[in-house]
Amino acid sequence: MLVAGIDVGSLTAEVVLIKDGNIIHYVIMPTGSNSKKAAERALDSALHAMGMKEPDLDYVVATGYGRISIDIADKRITEITCHGRGAVYLNPGVRTVIDIGGQDSKVIRLNDEGKVFDFAMNDKCAAGTGRFLEVMAQALEVGIDELAGLSEKARDTVAISSMCTVFAESEVVSLIARGLPREEIARGLHQSIADRTAGLVRRVGMEELVMITGGVAKNRALVKALNEKLVTTIIVPEEPQIAGALGAALLAQEELSS
């Protein structure tokens, strides 16, 4: 039995393949301007790596921002459900999932059975998301992968008053022009995202254990700021970006088994 989970977000597309109950391969690639083509490329890449083709697939579940455009999908399931399912597979004790993606962020609370009990989502603007961090990194003239390291060098924190991407970018440019250390500005940006995310956590009620998923989970400075804000130790999976696609693949497996 071969199944696939496809998660197409605004910035990246992920595919996870599960064969006979085991994860055999996964792929992460940029979404680009066309979510449908991104899903097709990611799936083809994953299958090709394992010497397989589309007809070999028994079931496909699609999730994420671009799930409606994925023609090959047998079923489409919301990312809330898929991220929750993927997180519980990675650690059965997880009860709170923080997912920070390219264009939105969400907090999912799970019940004792590992199913979604409640959630809160910020999808009105890019504040506190991967896109927000990309824009701020550009304003600070560093690569997105360098942002965490820059923040860790700070001796103090420069508070960022705006979380709107456009206004925050202008604020950062102004702070740089005033001669304030970029390291302290970077730290302030991470603190502001942690504050906003903690607000979502409070809306649903945090329960241990807490896991963070999504590409932003790779930013160790943000994870540290969240740990301090929530007074906990957040679990970061080995590959946090595939949680949604993994959950989709697991649900595809369950569809065949039911």
Reported confidence tier of residue 101, pLDDT bands at 50, 70, 90:
confident
State whether 41 and 121 are in the same domain. no
Q: What CATH number is associated with residue 102?
A: 3.30.420.40
Residues 76 and 181 in one domain: no
Strand pairing of 59-63 and 75-76? parallel
Query: Which pLDDT value is given to residue 214?
Result: 92
Q: Are residues 185 and 125 located together in one domain of the fold?
A: yes
Model confidence band, residue 257 (pLDDT cutoffs 50, 70, 90): confident
Residues 245 and 227 in one domain: no
Nearest to 10 by CA among 148, 132, 139, 96: 132
Q: Do residues 100 and 214 make contact, with C-beta atoms less than 8 angstroms apart?
A: yes
For residues 158 and 229, state if they share a domain: yes
At residue 123, the pLDDT reads 62
Domain with 37 in it: 1-91+238-258
C-alpha 164/C-alpha 145 separation (Å) is 22
**Confidence (pLDDT) at 124:** 61
**Whether residue 64 has pLDDT greater than 70:** yes
What are the residues whose beta carbons fall under 8 Å from the beta carbon of 187, sequence distance 6 or more?
151, 154, 156, 157, 158, 221
Q: Give the pLDDT score at 114.
A: 86
Do 182 and 86 have their domain in common?
Answer: no
Do 97 and 139 share a domain, yes or no?
yes
Distance, in Å, from the CA atom of 25 to the CA atom of 102, rounded to the nearest integer, reads: 23
Percent of the residues in the chain that have a pLDDT greater than 70, as a whole number:
98
Query: Tens digits of per-residue pLDDT, 226-241?
Result: 999 999 999 999 999 9
| Stretch 31-60: mean pLDDT | 96
Same domain, 5 and 56: yes
Same domain, 163 and 77: no
Q: How far apart are CA 211 and CA 186, in angstroms?
A: 23
Question: pLDDT at position 190, please?
Answer: 95
Q: What is the pLDDT of residue 253?
A: 96
Q: Quick check: 223 pLDDT over 70? A: yes
Q: Are residues 102 and 76 in the same domain?
A: no
- Residue 106, classed as helix, strand or coil, is strand
Q: In what order do the strands lie in the sheet with 116-122?
A: 116-122, 105-110, 96-100, 210-213
Instruction: Give yes or no: residues 18 and 87 share one domain.
Output: yes
**Confidence band, pLDDT 50/70/90 cuts, at residue 166:** confident
- If asked whether residues 84 and 102 sit together in one domain, one would say no
For residue range 106-136, what is the model confidence (pLDDT) as tens digits?
999 999 888 999 999 986 666 778 888 999 9
Query: Residue 228 — φ and ψ, nearest 5°?
Result: -70, -40
pTM exceeds 0.85 for this model: yes
What is the total count of domains within the chain? 2
For strand 22-30 and strand 59-63, is the pairing parallel, antiparallel, or unpaired? unpaired
pLDDT at position 176:
96
The structure tokens listed for 120 are 């809160």
Answer yes or no: is pLDDT of 93 > 90.
yes
Convert the pLDDT of each residue in 167-218 to its tens digit: 899 999 999 999 999 999 999 999 999 998 999 999 999 999 999 999 999 9
What Å distances lie between residue 192 and 46, 71, 145, 174, 189, CA to CA? Answer: 37, 39, 18, 17, 5
The number of angstroms, rounded, from the C-alpha of 212 to the middle of its chain's C-alpha atoms is: 8
Residue 242 pLDDT: 97
